[in-house]
Structure 1
Amino acid sequence: MSTDYSNRYVFEAEWYDKVACILKKFYLYYYPSNNTIELFDLKTRKIFLKRTICEGIKAKDFYIGAVVTIFSRCIKIIGYADSYTKIKLETQLQKFFVLLKPDIIDKMGEIIKVITNDFHITNMKMMLLTATDVTECNFVKDTADKMSMINYLTSGPIVGLELLGENGIARWQELAGPENCKHVYSTTTSLLRACCGKNEMYNSVYGSKNIEMAMQELQYFFPNLKSENKGPKTTAILQNCTCCIIKPHAVQAKLVGNGS
């Protein structure tokens, strides 16, 4: 294995070998200083790929749950392999929850295009909220007219996003702008709420306000498979429908939401 430990990240990773029908597990070493990668096979205890430059991969592509393509192999990152990588990346990267409200679903493509300029979308789901969902997630906590807010958020489909980015929550708040859109109309139209919102209630988007809320909201909307909570109901009817898959290269090229 590598002996150069300066500025090196190590991840637990896996790759399904379709020819051998085997799920192979690796340590994936990434050196951001020169964009080189090394793979160490955990079963054979041998180097699977010697340290080499891998074109098209950047430091921002490495996070838990990411799939990176290394010489035509889709390698999934499933965990941190050492404390340095965990501490270094978890202090830089934040996962948080964002909700696109019912009245801007028709502008979803445009908004997602803006979001992907700054953040990774690591989970996404279109849902139908109930009054219980709205109250349990405290979307009405600081709202004077709680019933109007409940009626608004349950009036049609919403889109929930799990986003990942450096100092993500603070940067999201900068991108979204103040909750009361009227405060920004006169100064800028580059913020999401200034572009798409109308007032403090109809302000187009919601985002986690701190790490604690982010963890609670992500667990509620994107629960793990073992959780008793299955999350809000999706809009999928699974009848007379089809499935559309947006491939990784299209996402990386920021073509998602591109109307051209």
Structure 2
Amino acid sequence: MSEGCEDRYCFIAEWYDPHAAFKRRYQFMYYVKDKTVEMFDVKNHRVFLKRTKMDELRLEDLYINSTLNVFSRQLNFVDYGDEFTRRKLANKKERTLGLIKPDAVPKMGQVLDVLFKNGFLIANMKMCRLNRTEALEFYQEHQGKTYFDTLLNYITSGPIIAIELMGPDCVSQWTDLLGPTDPATARTQAPNSIRARFGKDSIQNACHGSDSIGAAAREIEFFFPSNGSPVQKSTAIFSDCTCCVIKPHAVKSGAAGDIISKIMEAGFEISMLQVFHMEKANAEEFYEVYKGVVQEYGEMVNELTSGPCIALEIRANDAPKAFRDMVGPADPEIARHLRPRTLRAKFGNNKIQNAVHCTDLPEDGELEVEYFFRILGC
């Protein structure tokens, strides 16, 4: 294969055309060297987009089930477009399951920060709580072991966070990052590992990881079923709460773990968390209150649909006002001058990419949380 072909990757992408009420399918070509893309309409056999430069696009943003905005069209990547792309990227886009166990949930921000710093991509994530029947099914291979009942009691004792991880040789890389099962052993043999840093004992050892590609597929399906109907119980409370959304640009930059740590260090409770890949219609509906009021409305919708975001239920006394104070002014430049310790001052780029959305009006706190976790979520 020629050098030029080595730098070109092909995917099948779909775009829902709201006027025709029809999903249009395209071949999407990405050229690494000059960061250009071109698109071909599969049905009509014609060029849809001539080769066009997209400096902000990275190869790691392209994977099956990812979303991407191209000239205000939200594309969903559904398959590889040729065998070369499949062969080159399949192992780089390997998936595994990680669980943050009940004892490590208070350290979730630090665990996520470790993941981002080690190059993992979070394809899906949610906080949930297992009942005993679900825990039995998930840990079925441990049945009959002396510690089995202790394990079931522990894993059902509080919220957990399930994470679908993606990256090169993801199963083995995540296993190495976790370290030995017993945190005491981990502190001796792998002192920088997650279990060495956050684990307590061989049961309360901070995190779980799939031990093989086959186990990863089964465990991902358990928490993130392909039919889209998860059974695990949501941990959302829907009272004394406000909504936070960590925007796609902040997720892509790897700042989400640090943002979550800052929120928890400030004394807020995170009672629910989930990754969303927002459809344009949902983003428009969520931001409807800003339509015709804020001139950046269209750009705000585009940012929210440009990749995965993380929605949080934040709880505290007078949560909407208290959290809004922590988030700071909408414009990060103003925030850096007037409120330099706020989230937008620390993590925002501009008025559109300002790191996080927070509920503006106190009466909308529960409504926004319900929109994500009752209407859109599990």
**TM-score past 0.5 threshold:** yes
Superposed CA RMSD = 2.5
Q: Are 1:164 and 2:184 an aligned pair?
A: no
Partner of 1:89: 89
AA aligned to 2:55 is E
> Structure 2 vs 1, CA of residues 92 and 81 (structure 1 numbering), >3 Å: closer, same or farther?
same
Q: CA deviation at 1:171?
A: 0.6
> Structure 2 vs 1, CA of residues 19 and 250 (structure 1 numbering), >3 Å: closer, same or farther?
farther
Q: Secondary structure at the match of 2:55?
A: coil
Q: For 1:33-72, list aligned pairs within 5 A.
A: 33-72=33-72
Partner of 1:24: 24
TM-score normalised to structure 2 length: 0.61
Q: CA deviation at 1:48?
A: 2.1
Q: For 1:1-260, list aligned pairs within 5 A.
A: 5-16=5-16, 23-117=23-117, 118-138=119-139, 141=142, 143-186=145-188, 188-225=190-227, 230-237=230-237, 243-258=243-258, 259=262
**2-structure distance, mates of 1:171, 1:69:** 30
Stretches of structure 2 that go unaligned for 5 or more consecutive residues are 263-342, 344-378
AA aligned to 2:209 is G
CA displacement, residues 174-200 of structure 1 (integer Å, 9 cap, x when unaligned)? 111111111121355421111100121
> Structure 2 vs 1, CA of residues 253 and 71 (structure 1 numbering), >3 Å: closer, same or farther?
farther
CA displacement, residues 18-64 of structure 1 (integer Å, 9 cap, x when unaligned)? 68876432111112243321111234432222223311222211110
Q: Percent identity?
A: 36
Q: CA deviation at 1:253?
A: 1.6
Q: CA deviation at 1:99?
A: 0.7
Asked if the contact 2:179/2:190 (under 8 Å) is kept, the reply is no
> Structure 2 vs 1, CA of residues 55 and 226 (structure 1 numbering), >3 Å: closer, same or farther?
closer
> Structure 2 vs 1, CA of residues 160 and 122 (structure 1 numbering), >3 Å: closer, same or farther?
same
AA aligned to 1:136 is E
Asked if the contact 2:97/2:216 (under 8 Å) is kept, the reply is yes
Asked if the contact 1:127/1:234 (under 8 Å) is kept, the reply is yes
TM-score normalised to structure 1 length: 0.87
**2-structure distance, mates of 1:10, 1:251:** 25
AA aligned to 2:10 is V
> Structure 2 vs 1, CA of residues 128 and 25 (structure 1 numbering), >3 Å: closer, same or farther?
same
Higher relative contact order (CA 8 A, sep 6+): 1
Give the total of aligned pairs.
255
Q: CA deviation at 1:77?
A: 1.0
Q: Secondary structure at the match of 1:257?
A: helix
